[in-house]
């Protein structure tokens, strides 16, 4: 299984492999500037984009658990459009607390979901808004067309280049088809949804991890994993956000559990 986390250790990778590593939304297009107002870029301490996320509260970002590279290494950037270019709409915030889902399993990718509490709230304005979420256990029918968005990352020289947000429209693929022996053969859990074009060529890819799959205006999926990018046999696999709506609300709105967690009174990773 190929995790879609953009490799942070690009320096270790020969230049001729960069095209593969650098993947971004496959087969998509550039949306108009700041039209997807809740998407955030997660960047490493040297300003390199490695994952996407969604602003779900002025102090909280929703992303994939496999995007956790350590709190000290992460910066959240809201209001961005072209990476590496200052547009005057960006807002930066460091994480205060990482809340990894207790059921996250990095070998199966189950419960690949992470809430990041920000050290300073993001101001909501013309360029930044909150992502609407689905209700607990809300389902999606196969064939429903959704939209996934994300950024590519780094130039061949290894420096930052201006790269604009990309987006692509994709239909939901039924779990039975996605979990069948022709596809992911039993590796799809109830906490995952699949989306991809039946003819291939359209997909999320490395560097898009954690970013939003939006259906009916709500973030139903988080880019999680796959097998290559844009292969019609293997749709993209997304964390099913509707399975975690209650957990998200409890985490954000329960001050008591937040106190316990920030005091380290119980483990966040078991
Ligand atoms: C992850 O899932 C695998 C396969 O189901 C299981 O063997 C393993 O114990 C799980 N790991 C954790 C940390 O839950
Ligand atoms: C399913 O998971 C197993 C165990 O992780 C792995 O060996 C296998 O390649 C996976 N198959 C697909 C199609 O993802
Ligand atoms: C996918 O298939 C495996 C193996 O048959 C099964 O255990 C699992 O429950 C299936 N997933 C879903 C969501 O039905």
The whole-number pLDDT of residue 22 equals 33
Which residues, judged by CB distance below 6 Å to any ligand atom, belong to the binding site of ligand 2?
1, 184-185, 187, 227
Please work out whether the CB of residue 183 comes within 6 Å of at least one atom of ligand 3: no
Angle at 82 between CA 77 and CA 87, to 5 degrees: 75
Please work out whether the CB of residue 186 comes within 6 Å of at least one atom of ligand 3: yes
The whole-number pLDDT of residue 198 equals 86
- Can you tell me which atom of ligand 2 is nearest the CA of 187? 1
Average pLDDT of the chain is 84
Q: How far apart are CA 160 and CA 23, in angstroms?
A: 15
The whole-number pLDDT of residue 268 equals 33
**Pairing mode, strands 192-195 and 166-173:** antiparallel
Q: Are 108 and 53 contacting, i.e. CB atoms less than 8 angstroms apart?
A: no
Q: How far apart are CA 33 and CA 51, in angstroms?
A: 19
Given the residues 93, 153, 183, 209, select the one marked as catalytic.
209
Segment 27-39 shows an average pLDDT of 90
pTM value is 0.85
Least confident of 15-24, 146-155, 177-186: 15-24
Contacts of 178 (CB under 8 A, 6+ apart): 184, 188, 192, 194, 235, 237
Residues linked to residue 240 through DSSP beta bridges, in sequence order: 221
Lookup result for tokens 């459009």: 81
CA of 187 to the centre of ligand 3 (A): 7
Segment 32-60 shows an average pLDDT of 95
Least confident of 17-21, 89-93, 129-133, 179-183: 17-21
Ligand 2 pocket check: which of 2, 108, 185 to mutate, most ligand atoms within 8 Å of Cβ? 185
Q: Residue 77: which of 42, 105, 117, 35 has the closest Cα? A: 42
**Pairing mode, strands 82-83 and 163-164:** antiparallel
Ligand nearest to the CA of 189: 3
| DSSP labels, 36-87 | STTEEEEEETTS-EEEEEEEEETTEEEE-GGG-S-GGGEEEEES-SEETS--
Whether 112 is catalytic: yes
Residues linked to residue 154 through DSSP beta bridges, in sequence order: 160
Whether 19 is catalytic: no
Q: How far apart are CA 181 and CA 127, in angstroms?
A: 44
Q: How far apart are CA 240 and CA 250, in angstroms?
A: 17
Minimal-distance CA residue to ligand 2 atom 1? 187
Task: Determine how many CB atoms are found less than 10 A away from the CB of residue 269.
Answer: 10
Q: How far apart are CA 49 and CA 170, in angstroms?
A: 24
The whole-number pLDDT of residue 203 equals 81
Q: For 56-76, how does the pLDDT look when each residue is reduced to its tens digit (9 = 90+)?
A: 999 999 999 999 999 999 999
* The two structure tokens encoding residue 247: 């957990």
The whole-number pLDDT of residue 211 equals 96
Whether 267 is catalytic: no
> Would you give the end-to-end CA distance of the chain in angstroms?
22
Q: How far apart are CA 231 and CA 229, in angstroms?
A: 6
The whole-number pLDDT of residue 169 equals 94
pLDDT at 160 over 80: no
The whole-number pLDDT of residue 12 equals 34
- Can you tell me which atom of ligand 2 is nearest the CA of 186? 1
pLDDT at 156 over 80: no
Residue scoring higher pLDDT (89 or 85): 89
- Can you tell me which atom of ligand 2 is nearest the CA of 107? 5
The whole-number pLDDT of residue 152 equals 54
pLDDT at 19 over 50: no
Q: For 87-138, how does the pLDDT look when each residue is reduced to its tens digit (9 = 90+)?
A: 999 999 999 999 999 999 999 999 999 999 999 999 999 999 999 999 999 9
* The two structure tokens encoding residue 142: 């196969």
Given the residues 66, 153, 208, 242, select the one marked as catalytic.
66
């Amino acid at each position: 299984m190929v995790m879609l986390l953009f490799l942070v250790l690009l320096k270790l990778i020969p230049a001729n492999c960069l095209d593969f590593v650098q993947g971004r939304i496959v087969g998509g297009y550039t949306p108009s500037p700041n039209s997807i107002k809740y998407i955030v870029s997660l960047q490493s301490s040297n300003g390199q984009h490695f994952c996407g996320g969604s602003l779900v509260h002025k102090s909280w970002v929703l992303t994939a658990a496999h995007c956790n590279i350590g709190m000290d290494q992460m910066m959240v950037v809201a209001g961005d459009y072209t990476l590496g270019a200052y547009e005057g709409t960006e807002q930066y915030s460091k994480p205060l607390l990482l809340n990894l889902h207790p059921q996250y399993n990095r070998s199966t990718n189950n419960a690949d979901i992470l809430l990041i509490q920000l050290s300073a709230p993001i101001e909501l304005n013309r360029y930044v808004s909150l992502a609407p979420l689905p209700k607990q256990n809300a389902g999606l029918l196969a064939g429903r067309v959704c939209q996934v968005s994300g950024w590519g990352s780094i130039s061949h020289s290894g420096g930052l280049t201006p790269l604009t947000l990309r987006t692509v429209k994709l239909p939901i693929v039924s779990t039975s088809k996605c979990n069948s022996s022709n596809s992911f053969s039993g590796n799809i859990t109830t906490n995952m949804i699949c989306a991809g074009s039946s003819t291939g060529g359209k997909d999320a890819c490395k560097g898009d991890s954690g970013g939003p799959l939006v259906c009916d205006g709500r973030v139903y999926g988080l880019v999680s994993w796959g097998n290559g990018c844009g292969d019609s046999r293997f749709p993209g696999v997304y964390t099913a956000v509707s399975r975690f709506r209650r957990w998200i609300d409890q985490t954000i709105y329960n001050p008591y559990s937040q106190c316990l967690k920030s005091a380290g009174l119980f483990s966040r990773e078991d």
